[in-house]
Structure 1
């Protein structure tokens, strides 16, 4: 059985609550969940969850979660064709602004302004497009921390797509060690560092634990960012 998309519409406030609840409930299952703005003026947002195989138990859990939130909204199911939905969904994302930073895809280069610290991230298999609240929040906090602390050597632990490492390199012009336990993410991170012309400052390494000698070689770190699960 192929992949199925469960989706429903809600207001922005409702969609955020639903996303948070689904994200927590299906965290261990690794099911992709997304929120898309359909109509800004009418405040219509779509929450989608993607699952493979038998969709019935997943749908039942989603309906239970909605009931628990007091939002018993109709849930629709759609069988998806064999398309790279990661790339397709990211292509439709709007640029994200967080302080001086703008995170965008190649299709939105024209939306950069003078003075922006632009970070271009293409559709890929690693976490980090700037659209997740924790990523955007980290970007905003980085500006304050760098201005106050003036770090000279930084670590981005669990770098994903390297958004934060690239941001640090562009903002502070300092060396950044970007590590991740996932070799696919590290390859994506390296490619993004090259794309954003900070490869000379950002070193990407697959490191499943602090026993990796790279940490001792590059320490001490003035600043560590870790936008990861506990």
Structure 2
């Protein structure tokens, strides 16, 4: 199937986000719209749309004029087997003792690591993104500090790579939850693929209200690799579900947002123990002291 992209740049985050929202109302509709700040120090933002039909060039030109953007560059993309492409280009990830790989790289797993199989077709949370990588490195650091955790929860688990890493490290069952039922299905498939049946329980849940989470609390360790807004809203419940002396590993946080998240969690008794920035993203290790 032939597909199309339409890309432009403009100055200012608010203008860029407003343009992205306006693009979603085009006919034919884009199947996806992205808004990103260019990392070249120019102050420009890129707004792009992905279309399965030829986009309305006149409509795009009008939007560019209205929002003060450059003219859209429209490109026709060739048919591509994206899963096969990702398999070729998605290299294994090493995060301390953890080695995240796809089945196409099964012959590259070195000795002496904790291997975690995440296939490219299920690639939201493969370890390549700075947030997931940061969480795995944070877990590796805690292990190196001699920490042993008996009750672990992975909130917003995605592929469940973090839950599986904990299950590979300690003998007790781990709970992995996500608000998205598709993510829960993916998590369950990954648990089976990693021979962790009976070690990781995957549930569909928003927050900590699910009976399985409520029954297992308080936790020694909670992962929450989501976004700043949900993390801030979740802070009272997450800290309430964390036992004194327990740790939380938080990510999905832009570097410039980290101080706000640290301050919010400190209000509820979980204080910063370690922070690592990878690219634009921060990972926080917090310890409950109250």
The two structures have a TM-score, normalised by structure 1, of 0.69
> Relative contact order: is structure 1 or structure 2 higher (C-alpha 8 Å, sep ≥ 6)?
1
Alignment equivalent of 2:86, drawn from 68, 85, 90: 90
Whether 1:112 aligns to 2:109 is yes
Alignment equivalent of 1:217, drawn from 210, 215, 220: 215
* Equivalent pairs, count: 191
Q: Which has the higher strand share?
A: 2
Assess, with a 3 A threshold, how the Cα gap between structure 1 residues 2 and 78 changes in structure 2: closer, same or farther: closer
Displacement, 1:84?
5.8
The two structures have a TM-score, normalised by structure 2, of 0.56
- Corresponding residue for residue 142 of structure 1: 139
Assess, with a 3 A threshold, how the Cα gap between structure 1 residues 191 and 170 changes in structure 2: closer, same or farther: same
1:37-66 CA-to-partner distances (Å, cap 9, x unmatched) read xxxxxxxxxx9x6612537649x88xx9x9
- Corresponding residue for residue 158 of structure 1: 156
Bigger CA radius of gyration: 2
Superposition CA RMSD, Å: 3.6
Whether 1:133 aligns to 2:130 is yes
1:73-107 CA-to-partner distances (Å, cap 9, x unmatched) read x96723343x663x234313111111111111111
- The separation in 2 between residues aligned to 1:55 and 1:156, in whole angstroms, is 43
- Corresponding residue for residue 171 of structure 1: 169
Gaps of 5+ in 1: 8-20, 34-46, 68-73
Displacement, 1:141?
0.6
Whether 1:207 aligns to 2:205 is yes
Gaps of 5+ in 2: 8-12, 25-30, 35-45, 231-290
Is 2:95–2:140's contact at 8 Å kept on the other side of the alignment? Answer: no
